[in-house]
């Protein structure tokens, strides 16, 4: 694998993360517990679409086959997607959505903070922009996790169940493979071991403040780095890509 | 007796001040005196307007996950978010009249408060997203531009903010339609089909003809409503016909023609039976929209309760510090 190939895949994966998470958050439109929350969650979805556009456009340039961000978003199939499994799971109740946003935004915060110093200047610039947005996502998720954890008995149970249910999908966030090793050597990719330690510390702090219990580290799900997903991704893609696939000659 | 006479005199003076303000064209503010009828009329109108913004998020939200490009998805999401924001301004404007958002939502659920009839029509294809932005928001703007001069200050100020954003919405809708009309045969057919289905309901958004409109009298006297239903409808038709022509869409009205004497377009008869059928609950989506709003509201009850419990806990802790 060349450095260029590795970087293509790295950007694609980060772009897919943003795209798929934005898809899930956008499903909250007209579905949130209060109007203000409807606006907040779809606002995060908007940030993420913007991030997906930047990363997929850059991935397309690295690939060198003339594919645009839309080509990559709308014309790839299940096995060609590389987003983390956590982000494609159904929204569940509001507590599950908050737990996912908490796990992913804390991860993104430390991850993009590191990536700002990447030797690849495009990636570094995207990371710098992303950190600013992710700060808000993280603050919002943290506030809600604490409010729900320390709210009523029901909200405490729901929040605990959400972090327990999603815990086994967090291991994947810190995996490394051949491609990240190549990029690490060149000071392009972020250092996962360090991010994992910071992430864990911050999540423990928030879960403690929310009067919740840290889940046990048992089996961690894996597969998305090689395009092995949950059954849910196929449904996302069939809905998201429907018009582009049904009218392949059309531009919108 | 003397006291009663004094009170009557005070009321009379207050009403006089109110009417003078209206005559001068001054804004009525929440703390100033206003007759009960004025307050009731505004409450009904502003809450209906707020609910319309919120219920209107449903037909459009229905297409977010299927938007055909990242840009289209981004624009649609931003637009729907604006609608939600408009709902918030309007709920706040209504709250200045002494009602809570919770009460307004209860009234919506019980059927006492209404929302715009247009959202009882389904958004069936992507072109409907274009048609909603262009025609439905286009019709709404004509009404809202006029309402910027409405006599109630908080409502008028909300309208000024809303109008700024609505013109972007209309352009977004028109851009979708224009792009499709430049596209493949399938896309053109989809756009024309949406035009055919949304044109007449959009005209109905302005309400019954002036001769039939029950609320017009007081609303005009109090300068809540600044132009009549038919005047506003005509304005909308005149500007929209030309926009349709530019991109090659046909208006589904065989009687539509330019009237040189009036300097306006004449249009064919509006199907008021359909209007009243939908308003009275038999549109395709009346039940669906309301059932959805109620389901979501109920499903979120535990979240709102948790937020309130947490707030109270923190307040108590602060008091004990």
pLDDT tens digits, residue range B203-248?
Answer: 999 999 988 876 567 888 889 888 999 999 999 999 999 999 999 9
How far apart CA A17 and CA A137 sit, in angstroms, is 15
Per residue in A13-29, is it b (16+ CB within 10 Å) or e — as a string?
bbbbbbbbbbbbbbbbb
Residue A252, in any domain of the structure: no
Structure confidence by residue, pLDDT tens digits, B260-290? 999 999 999 999 999 999 999 999 999 999 9
Rounded to two decimals, the ipTM of the complex is 0.96
Touching A: B residues 81-100, CB under 8 Å = 81, 84-85, 87-88, 91
> For position B215, what pLDDT does the model report?
57
Nearest CA in chain B to A98: B303
> For position A248, what pLDDT does the model report?
95
> For position B216, what pLDDT does the model report?
60
Structure confidence by residue, pLDDT tens digits, A47-80? 999 999 999 999 999 999 999 999 999 999 999 9
Q: Exposed, middle or buried, B173 (CB in 10 Å: 0-12/13-18/19+)?
A: buried
Residue A251, in any domain of the structure: no
Contacts of B89 in chain A (CB under 8 A): none
Q: Which helix (H) or strand (E) holds B266?
A: strand B264-266
> For position B214, what pLDDT does the model report?
63
Residue A252 contacts B where some CB pair is shorter than 8 Å: yes
Q: Is the dihedral of CA B295, B296, B302, B305 positive or negative?
A: negative
Structure confidence by residue, pLDDT tens digits, B193-211? 999 999 999 999 999 998 8
Nearest CA in chain B to A239: B66
Residue A36 contacts B where some CB pair is shorter than 8 Å: yes
Q: Averaged over B33-62, what is the pLDDT? A: 95
Q: Where are the domains of chain B?
A: 14-284
Contact B306 A242 (CB under 8 A): no
> For position B1, what pLDDT does the model report?
58
SS3 per residue for A36-85: HHHHHHHHHHHHHHHHHHHHHHHHHHHHCCCCCHHHHHHCCCHHHCCCCH
Structure confidence by residue, pLDDT tens digits, A137-180? 999 999 999 999 999 999 999 999 999 999 999 999 999 998 99
Contacts of B54 in chain A (CB under 8 A): 35
Q: Which helix (H) or strand (E) holds A106?
A: helix A94-115
SS3 per residue for A173-204: HHCCCHHHHHHHHCCCCCCHHHHHHHHHHHHH
Question: What CATH number did the domain enclosing A64 receive?
Answer: 1.20.1260.10
> For position B12, what pLDDT does the model report?
87
Task: Place B167 in a pLDDT band, splitting at 50, 70 and 90.
Answer: confident
Per residue in A207-217, is it b (16+ CB within 10 Å) or e — as a string?
beebebeebee
Going from the C-alpha of B257 to that of each of A146, B136, B140, B241, B246, the distances in angstroms are 63, 22, 23, 10, 16
Reply yes or no on whether the pLDDT at B73 is more than 70.
yes
> For position B221, what pLDDT does the model report?
87
The two structure tokens encoding residue B167: 């013109």
Among the CATH numbers 3.20.20.370, 1.20.1260.10, 1.10.730.10, 1.10.260.30, which is that of B14-284? Answer: 1.20.1260.10
Residue B61 contacts A where some CB pair is shorter than 8 Å: yes
Decide: helix, strand or coil at residue A112.
helix
- Residue range of the domain that includes A144: 3-246
Structure confidence by residue, pLDDT tens digits, A220-243? 999 999 999 999 999 999 999 999
> For position B229, what pLDDT does the model report?
93
Phi, psi of B265 (to 5 degrees): -85, 135
How many domains is chain A built from?
Answer: 1
Q: Averaged over A185-201, what is the pLDDT? A: 96
Residue B32 contacts A where some CB pair is shorter than 8 Å: no
Most confident of the following: A73-82, B11-20, B32-41: A73-82
> For position B170, what pLDDT does the model report?
85
How far apart CA A120 and CA B224 sit, in angstroms, is 59
Q: Which of A69, A146, A154 sits opposite B70 (nearest CB)?
A: A69
Decide: helix, strand or coil at residue B152.
strand
Query: A64's torsion region: left (phi>0), alpha (psi -120 to 50) or beta?
Result: left
How far apart CA B5 and CA A54 sit, in angstroms, is 74
């Amino acid at each position: 694998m060349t450095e260029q190939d590795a970087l293509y895949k790295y950007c694609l994966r980060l772009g897919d993360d943003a795209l798929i998470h934005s898809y899930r958050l956008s499903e909250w439109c007209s579905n949130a517990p209060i109007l203000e929350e409807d606006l907040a969650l779809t606002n995060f979805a908007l940030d993420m679409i913007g991030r997906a556009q930047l990363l997929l456009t850059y991935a397309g340039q690295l690939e060198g086959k003339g594919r645009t961000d839309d080509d990559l978003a709308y014309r790839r199939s299940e096995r060609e997607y590389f987003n983390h499994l956590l982000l494609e799971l159904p929204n569940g109740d509001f507590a599950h959505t908050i737990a996912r946003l908490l796990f992913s935004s804390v991860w993104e915060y430390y991850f993009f903070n590191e990536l700002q110093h990447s030797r690849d200047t495009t990636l570094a610039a995207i990371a710098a922009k992303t950190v600013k947005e992710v700060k808000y996502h993280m603050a919002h998720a943290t506030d809600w996790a604490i409010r729900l954890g320390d709210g009523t008995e029901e909200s405490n149970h729901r929040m605990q169940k959400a972090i327990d249910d999603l815990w086994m999908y967090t291991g994947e966030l810190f995996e490394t493979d051949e491609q990240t090793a190549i990029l690490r050597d060149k000071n392009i990719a972020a250092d996962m071991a360090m991010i994992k330690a910071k992430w864990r510390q911050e999540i423990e702090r928030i879960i403690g403040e929310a009067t919740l219990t840290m889940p046990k580290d048992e089996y961690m799900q894996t597969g998305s780095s090689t395009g092995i997903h949950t059954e849910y991704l196929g449904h996302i893609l069939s809905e998201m890509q429907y018009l582009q696939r049904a009218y392949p000659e059309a531009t919108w | 007796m003397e006291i009663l006479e004094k009170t009557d005199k005070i009321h009379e003076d207050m009403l006089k001040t109110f009417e003078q303000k209206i005559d001068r064209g001054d804004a009525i503010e929440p703390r100033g005196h206003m007759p009960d009828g004025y307050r009731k009329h505004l409450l009904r109108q502003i809450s209906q307007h707020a609910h319309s913004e919120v219920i209107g998020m449903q037909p459009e939200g229905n297409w977010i996950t299927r938007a055909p490009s990242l840009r289209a998805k981004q624009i649609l999401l931003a637009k729907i978010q604006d609608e939600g924001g408009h709902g918030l301004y309007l709920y706040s404007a209504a709250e200045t009249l002494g009602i809570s958002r919770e009460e307004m939502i209860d009234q919506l659920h019980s059927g006492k408060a209404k929302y715009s009839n247009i959202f009882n029509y389904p958004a069936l294809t992507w072109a409907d997203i274009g048609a909603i932005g262009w025609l439905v928001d286009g019709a709404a703007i004509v009404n809202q531009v006029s309402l910027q001069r409405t006599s109630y200050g908080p409502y008028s100020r909300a309208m000024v903010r809303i109008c700024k954003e609505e013109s972007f919405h209309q352009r977004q809708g028109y851009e979708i339609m224009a792009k499709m009309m430049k596209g493949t045969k399938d896309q053109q057919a989809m756009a024309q089909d949406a035009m055919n289905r949304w044109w007449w309901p959009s005209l109905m958004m302005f309400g019954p003809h002036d001769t039939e409109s029950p609320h017009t009298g007081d609303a005009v006297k109090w300068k809540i409503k600044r132009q009549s239903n038919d005047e506003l409808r005509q304005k909308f038709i005149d500007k929209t016909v030309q926009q349709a022509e530019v991109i090659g869409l046909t208006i589904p009205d065989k009687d539509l023609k330019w009237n040189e004497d009036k300097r306006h377009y004449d249009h064919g008869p509006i199907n008021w039976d359909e209007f009243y059928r939908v308003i009275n609950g038999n549109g395709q989506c009346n039940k669906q929209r309301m059932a959805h709003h109620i389901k979501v509201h109920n499903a979120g009850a535990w979240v709102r309760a948790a937020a309130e419990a947490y707030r109270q806990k923190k307040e108590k802790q602060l008091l004990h510090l």
